[in-house]
Structure 1
């Protein structure tokens, strides 16, 4: 189906759903009968308070709900993630992938990015972050963030934390007591945002079988910055689809299958590219009436393919194809029992993932170039056991990770590592035991201080170990040669964290809620890997120990008629500088602040709010600027507005104004489109959204 036909069909379906919804609207439901988690609330009230509530966990965790994504217009996840404490992204205005940064660490698997628990290990070496996840914001219902070492499933090989993008499913579409549900969303934005539409529906055939699916389309154009200048080659053509199947033969057993297809065409890194991402999941749970068994089994297949279709000039990588096929699974169980006065909850299991990377570097020279083919895998055995005695919780985590790297390469004579010229085989493996211990106290019902010591490690990647080829000459200079380094050692993190949670109700008014989480972290990083320019470009382990430390604060207050939230991050990093162009530097701004305030009027059907976002100057490293030049990027402040009106129980209208004052700026940690002096921050943009649910 062509793009135009795809859009026509999707627009027709969306319009039909909107008309059907408004034509059969139910009577308004009194505010007292509705959940307090109305549209556009702060994250603290998006979901019911469960054990997953970040303000109830003695760890550096955050959750982002769909309402918060809608506050930003639902068009991009970068700004949403950047407003979460301790979290940032590599903002590539041309590449639509998400590259999550936690505490100044990004790329090459330092942060495990997942979609529905599926690892996104697609990577390439170039003028970009070394790792992207491709996901359509239209289908995201929430984002779960863990900062620091993770003891359970998903934490294998992750140095700085995990981020999981959860997509829409049956329970998100079907209300309790019904057997079907659907939603349609249509958004139009100025400043190149254009139209974006999505339709999703679910049907429950009986108590055993249910199905959900959806399609989405968006094709933003080039946008203008705050100076009115066009930021070129920011065009995209996104189409995605999702399918979920659920089988529940009994209350004890549940089996779910999922499929997620994402396609996009864009121009980045000097080439016209297309991305085809396909992932499939199978999830089984067994939860009998037993404190000893709470079994979870998850398996996945994930394939991401990138093609370089052409270029504006005759460049050497035309015809490049990078194909990453990933397979993985995890099995875990939770047992609960007592040992005398101790209440014990033990979660334990195994996880494994394997990636097969197949690269054709160009049509002209398919078997040689900067990106290498190869295989990598990590297997892990893990446990996290909570011992509770009175007001104290002791959480003891232990995981053993083992990695393997397998590939082939070739090296020329006089290389920096002194390797003999010619082909060679890479076959490396190593393992490490990583502990994590947390002590949390609950001296008052609303107060929970905690302290943690944790270790983690990250294995070198195929991209880092087997890089090769050369870069075309610049300004008449010589070609730049790249060399592999099969001797790279894993990065290791060891650190402390101290923090506290506060969950207090009825603070200023009856029924209000105050939530607060604050923490300080201090991490030593050994063997940190960066590019080395001396004698030819290659990746190396930097000697010695580098310190990364900082403070993270998140808070939210909700009184029904009004709400507010804030986030603050201070980061001080002594990590060695990374060369932009062979990867990308990842220093966070020293200070990052965001604040949201809002009110609900007319029986809480109308929500009005504003958000302020501010960052200080950010260090980029002396290696990335000319001698004598200030190695810092300027700070900036932006202001957004948002509103939502619940017209009926089935139809809501929303509006957003981003960069209200048309500020001219370039986002920190952004990738330039190659035009000197061009501010890449999006100028003032208006967005209007209609969403129907029934």
Structure 2
């Protein structure tokens, strides 16, 4: 754990300058304990030890915020925004201006590779999670393809961790309600010890909501949905040094939505009945003997996502099936001269689909196989200095069985280098360089068929492009962290963090539609069309004193096309978040408030045609924990968008929900 010190007079002047320049913060909510592990780091580093820009959302924070989606759980973090609009089934995080399949998603170390146009990719309900942690910026040296914008690692709950000391069996029941969409959710869990070293967790949920009410009082049509799911997780402590876990979870979602849920129903986005079923199985093995050479994690996983769609007006049936199998092996060794983290990853993706009716896109019958290996070292140099180089090699093979001659193989090297300096007990400075790549998906490489009809003139056709190059990123970043004690009072603590980044991304893959009426060329294909530069930074301040918690954060990203200097699509507006929390009744009751201000977004491409207004949101919360005869009872109240602001996020088509009062009651036994 990092030490804090009494702030010397000189450091207070530095602090004053920092506050004057920034007054920002990783702004968060419940203060993150230094010992919390960042699961996405693969090195078992804690928040304080990490040499990357990271954000962690704990179970306690999830209980306090009551998010409906993973993206909503991250929305207060600087330089993390929500993409997709108000419908939860399509929401995903935007990290430093990048989103979608440019952000790698993990659940218990297993890659979630499902990607199909206008369909949600985050299928994990926050009810099943213990923690979410995020690496901001390129991380392919750790995880390979897909981590250009960062990594979102989700860790599921564990039965033995829910048991109280001395408890052999327990459970909980929970009921929650949100007013913006009459959202009702019921969940429950049972957990316990089944025998010597064997533990189990069974949890599940059911939720449904009506159409979402917006800030102007109108309802967003076709935004109602029903969801249910659950998880069975077994843990077996083989001995003091070995643990085996096996989990299976399922998520189901049904509703009538536009074919593009981030838009309203229209001629280009007809109404469909959509049914999604997502199944995931993970087998994990941990071996940590009394040896500095071995700290081993092995993960074997299988994901299967199936989507059934029925176009109501056109009477057309669509089916999509995406399967991923994978294996990860990671070991950590502590040598006299360095700490090493190294391993091998393998995964295989299979995508296939069927679409009925004439003049329809034809999904690729695609296969992709990737194998990679990596090594990262932490090399102590002079007093307080550490050098951390990393190198990874990935090779991928891909083909579409329905397209002759489509087979291709390629390899990529990913590098990173970090130099950290513990300048004093209270100040750490880090400079780092990171590379990342994203291999093209089967949809981007191999989609064929009709994109849309032009009536008597024919149709716009999808043209496959097996020659697509991977997207590549190279980021330079500076990070500063300071940790003070005794700043304004004897037992207080102040933490400051700041980062500056510059991320160059080459060969952006985008869908291009050609409508050449003179030569009668009407086609859609994916191309490498753009080289971009994304730069910006985060500033953070967190202050704790007794029962008081304060935070302030600021995030800023700028994006431009390097060929003409024009603004990029999808870059979030600058965002401030101020938070305050206070514990009452001997820490039995916590009251909190959070103020979010997003600047107006005027940096838009010339052809985009519109700017986005600024907005300010006020959120309130209260959590009460029963004692004595009411032990086990927990009550929660959250008021999101208390002032009922009618607003939308930059580059989103739809407006966000209005005032949403969320109530929850949980009883543990």
Would you say same fold, with TM above 0.5? Answer: yes
The TM-score bracket by the shorter chain reads: 0.7 to 0.9
Matching residue within 148, 153, 159 for 1:159? 148
Alignment of 1:534-549 (within 5 A): 534=514, 535=521, 536-542=523-529, 545-549=531-535
- Which range moved further: 506-515 or 371-380? 506-515
Matching residue within 341, 346, 349 for 2:340? 346
Distance 1:119 1:619, change over 3 A: farther
> What's the CA shift string for 1:172-198, capped at 9, x where partnerless?
311233222322211122232332111
- The structure that is strand-richer by fraction is 2
Matching residue within 430, 436, 444 for 1:456? 436
- Distance in 2, matches of 1:331 and 1:271, equals 41
Instruction: Note the C-alpha offset of 1:248.
Output: 0.9
Matching residue within 238, 258, 263 for 1:249? 238
Instruction: Note the C-alpha offset of 1:281.
Output: 0.3
Which residue matches 1:137? Answer: 126
- Which range moved further: 382-391 or 88-97? 88-97
Instruction: Note the C-alpha offset of 1:153.
Output: 5.0
Distance 1:514 1:646, change over 3 A: same
Alignment of 1:570-581 (within 5 A): 570-575=556-561
Q: Is the 8 A contact 1:651 1:691 kept in 2?
A: yes
Instruction: Note the C-alpha offset of 1:331.
Output: 0.5
Instruction: Note the C-alpha offset of 1:69.
Output: 2.3
Alignment of 1:81-120 (within 5 A): 81-94=74-87, 96-107=89-100, 109-120=101-112
Which residue matches 1:399? Answer: 392
Report the secondary structure of 1:533's partner residue: strand
Q: Is the 8 A contact 2:549 2:582 kept in 1?
A: yes
Which residue matches 1:355? Answer: 349
Q: Is the 8 A contact 1:240 1:261 kept in 2?
A: yes
Give the gaps of 5 or more residues in structure 2.
1-26, 38-43, 260-270, 515-520
- Distance in 2, matches of 1:504 and 1:447, equals 9
Which residue matches 1:287? Answer: 288
User: Is the counterpart of residue 42 in structure 1 residue 64 in structure 2?
Assistant: no
- Distance in 2, matches of 1:634 and 1:223, equals 21
- Distance in 1, matches of 2:212 and 2:145, equals 39
Report the secondary structure of 1:537's partner residue: strand
Q: Is the 8 A contact 2:81 2:572 kept in 1?
A: no
Matching residue within 569, 576, 594 for 1:593? 576
User: Is the counterpart of residue 188 in structure 1 residue 208 in structure 2?
Assistant: no
Report the secondary structure of 1:472's partner residue: strand
- Distance in 2, matches of 1:242 and 1:462, equals 30
Q: Is the 8 A contact 2:144 2:394 kept in 1?
A: no
- Distance in 2, matches of 1:187 and 1:330, equals 37
Q: Is the 8 A contact 1:117 1:154 kept in 2?
A: no
- TM-score under structure 2 normalisation? 0.86
Instruction: Note the C-alpha offset of 1:553.
Output: 2.5
Give the gaps of 5 or more residues in structure 1.
1-39, 410-422, 578-584, 673-679
Alignment of 1:108-507 (within 5 A): 109-125=101-117, 128=118, 132-150=121-139, 153-268=142-257, 269=259, 270-311=271-312, 313-314=313-314, 318-339=316-337, 344-360=338-354, 362-364=355-357, 369-389=361-381, 390-409=383-402, 424-473=404-453, 479-507=459-487
Which residue matches 1:554? Answer: 540
Matching residue within 638, 644, 651 for 2:623? 644
> What's the CA shift string for 1:381-426, capped at 9, x where partnerless?
10111012320111111101112211045xxxxxxxxxxxxx5331
Which residue matches 1:28? Answer: none
Which residue matches 2:664? Answer: 689
Please report the RMSD computed on the Cα atoms of aligned residues, expressed in angstroms.
2.4
- Distance in 2, matches of 1:601 and 1:476, equals 71
Instruction: Note the C-alpha offset of 1:296.
Output: 0.9
Which residue matches 1:15? Answer: none
- Distance in 2, matches of 1:475 and 1:553, equals 54
Q: Is the 8 A contact 1:55 1:502 kept in 2?
A: no
- Which range moved further: 174-183 or 634-643? 174-183
Distance 1:620 1:321, change over 3 A: farther
Instruction: Note the C-alpha offset of 1:100.
Output: 2.7
Matching residue within 532, 540, 545 for 2:512? 532
Distance 1:225 1:547, change over 3 A: same
Which residue matches 1:25? Answer: none
- Distance in 1, matches of 2:280 and 2:602, equals 37
Which residue matches 1:419? Answer: none
Instruction: Note the C-alpha offset of 1:549.
Output: 0.6
- Distance in 1, matches of 2:580 and 2:322, equals 43
Which residue matches 1:10? Answer: none
- Distance in 2, matches of 1:195 and 1:373, equals 39
Distance 1:228 1:335, change over 3 A: same
- Distance in 2, matches of 1:601 and 1:384, equals 45
Q: Is the 8 A contact 1:436 1:455 kept in 2?
A: yes
Instruction: Note the C-alpha offset of 1:476.
Output: 9.4
